[in-house]
Amino acid sequence: MDQAPDIERIARLAQMELSDEEKTALEKDLAAVIGYMDVLSKIDTDGVEPMEHVLGLSNVLRADEPVPSFDRARLLDCAPKTEDGYYDVPLAVEQE
């Protein structure tokens, strides 16, 4: 199966210039990946539960418990400039 047009399109989309040797190597790699996907697609997965993580981990994060927040007025008092209850900062990106 000739992957050359795919390789050239991928290289163009990635804005990469590839030598002929690199294109040949990438074509072989792409063929191997596609071949492996063909092998995986033939595996019978009926009755296999989808996993959220390959290691079968459950929630490893701490419990989400509400805690008091900082006092908004006190934080805004530290700002050099505020407006309508928010920090007023210089424009970082100019709009057109």
pLDDT score of 43: 93
Query: Which tokens sit at 70?
Result: 């900082």
What whole-number distance in Å separates Cα of residue 57 and Cα of residue 77?
Answer: 44
CB contact at 8 A, 54 and 27: no
Q: pTM of this prediction?
A: 0.45
CATH of domain 4-41: 1.10.20
pLDDT score of 5: 81
Query: Which of 60, 56, 20, 71 has its CA nearest to residue 11?
Result: 20
1-16 pLDDT tens trace:
566 788 889 899 999 9
Mean of per-residue pLDDT scores for the chain:
88
Q: What's the half-sphere exposure (Cβ side, CA atoms, 13 Å) at 15?
A: 0
- pLDDT band at 41, cuts 50/70/90? very high
Query: Which tokens sit at 30?
Result: 């792409």
55-74 pLDDT tens trace:
767 777 888 899 999 999 99
The residues with which 83 forms a beta bridge, in sequence order, are: 86
Domain-by-domain residue ranges, the chain?
4-41
